[in-house]
Amino acid sequence: MKKRKTSFGLWIFALTMIVSLMGCASSATQMSEKNPDEAIQIVTTIAQIGEPMEVIGGDRVKVTSLMGPGVDPHLYKATQGDITKLQNADIILYSGLHLEGNMGDIFSKLKETKHIFALGESIDEGRLLKGDEGAIDPHIWFDLDLWKDALDNATEELKDFSPDDADYFEQNKQEYFKKIEELKAETIEKMSGVPEEQRVLVTAHDAFGYFGRMFDIEVVGLQGLSTEDEVGLSDIQDTVDLLIEKQVPAVFVESSINQNSIKAVIEGASEKGLDVTLGGELYSDAMGQAGTEEGTYLGMYHHNVTTIYNGLTRSGQK
């Protein structure tokens, strides 16, 4: 009896060992499948890049956008914390074309060691708009076709970095691009409802050139292509004259820009007898709060289209 008892005990011991070893093995397998540390670390400047890449990259990526709501990329200076994030990134994606005007030196340094890609600079120059002094307009996310191509190029970078995930990224991208096409069709329909003579979009700085080109709207920015440019009294006076000439019912502020110059235009028009209202706030160089509709590229674009439509058709609604 004693002997049997011992061998039974040994059996239990052996079984326990096997079960616990199996347990270890299975938890190790789970770790390798779902280890969040293995996600590709993407760091972007503007969220107009970061949020779509989060959709396309899905659970294989972790995206950090340095510039949050209300932040002006033209004037943005990287903090020490940003530089650490950039140095720890697997892939860095930025817009380029001098949008992030103060970060040029940082980008050229990072180019020596990091996987870094400028979406704006991946587009053929012939498709880009130029300002009065020949500077390229960097606000290309307002041309839905251009931004789609830029995101497509960024996705190729992602595929090169992680070929095993290429099919997954491609599938997510195709689904996302369908939504961009839907937004484009919807915007064409909406904007064609604005009477031709009222298709004038006045904003604080010249961010909507591509939007205007795409949907046949004249755009006027009080500041130039960069918010580093000054607003002069003559800019305000010329804009007031244009509003009066075309009887434009509304002008717009931008979430990342001081509202004073636009308010001066409204006052100036009012002194000359034209009732111009503030048509609302547009997202130009920064998106809305993450987790809200306006915190997504498609959502902020849709918000702008609705706000512009409502503002410019105001007199028609009376």
Of positions 268, 285, 296, 300, contacts Zn ion by CB under 5 A = 285
Identity of residue 273:
G
> Which of 156/229 has CB closer to Zn ion?
229
Task: Decide if residue 51 touches Zn ion (CB under 5 A).
Answer: no
**Segment interacting with Zn ion, rule: CB under 5 A, options 15-23, 38-46, 207-215, 291-299:** 207-215
Interaction between residue 204 and Zn ion (CB under 5 A): no
Least separation, in Å, of the C-beta of 226 and Zn ion?
6
158 versus 201: smaller Cβ distance to Zn ion: 201
Q: What is the separation of C-alpha 184 from the centre of its chain, rounded to a whole number of angstroms?
A: 16
Q: Which is nearer to Zn ion, 235 or 285 (CB)?
A: 285
The count of residues interacting with Zn ion (CB under 5 A) is 2
Cβ proximity to Zn ion: between 54 and 285 the closer is 285
The answer to whether 207 contacts Zn ion (rule: CB under 5 A) is: yes
| Minimum gap (Å) between residue 67 Cβ and Zn ion | 12
Least CB distance from residue 295 to Zn ion, whole Å? 19
Name every residue whose Cβ is closer than 8 Å to that of residue 99 and which is 6 or more positions away in sequence: 45, 46, 73, 74, 120, 138, 139, 285
CB of 150 to Zn ion, least distance (A): 16
Nearer to Zn ion, 106 or 207 (CB): 207
The piece of 8-16, 20-28, 80-88, 284-292 that touches Zn ion (CB under 5 A) is: 284-292
The nearest distance, CB 71 to Zn ion, in angstroms, is: 11
Shortest distance (Å) from residue 139 CB to Zn ion? 6
Of 81-89, 164-172, 201-209, 210-218: span binding Zn ion (CB under 5 A): 201-209
HEC profile of the chain: CHHHHHHHHHHHHHHHHHHHHHHHHHHHHHHHHHCHHHCEEEEEEEHHHHHHHHHHHHHHEEEEEEECCCCCCCCCCCCHHHHHHHHHCCEEEECCCCCCHHHHHHHHHHHCCCEEEECHHHCCHHHCCECCCCCECCCHHHCHHHHHHHHHHHHHHHHHHCHHHHHHHHHHHHHHHHHHHHHHHHHHHHHCCCCHHHCEEEEEECCCHHHHHHHCCEEEEEECCCCCCCCCHHHHHHHHHHHHHHCCCEEEEECCCCCHHHHHHHHHHHHCCCCCEEEEEECCCCCCCCCCHHHCHHHHHHHHHHHHHHHHCHHHHC
- Candidate segments 11-19, 111-119, 120-128, 204-212, binder of Zn ion by CB under 5 A: 204-212
Distance CA(2)–CA(275), nearest Å, equals: 104
Question: Is residue 235 close enough to count as binding Zn ion by CB under 5 A?
Answer: no
* 143 versus 285: smaller Cβ distance to Zn ion: 285
Residue nearest to Zn ion (CB): 285
Beta carbon of residue 97, minimum distance to Zn ion (angstroms, whole number): 11
Positions touching Zn ion (CB under 5 A) are: 207, 285
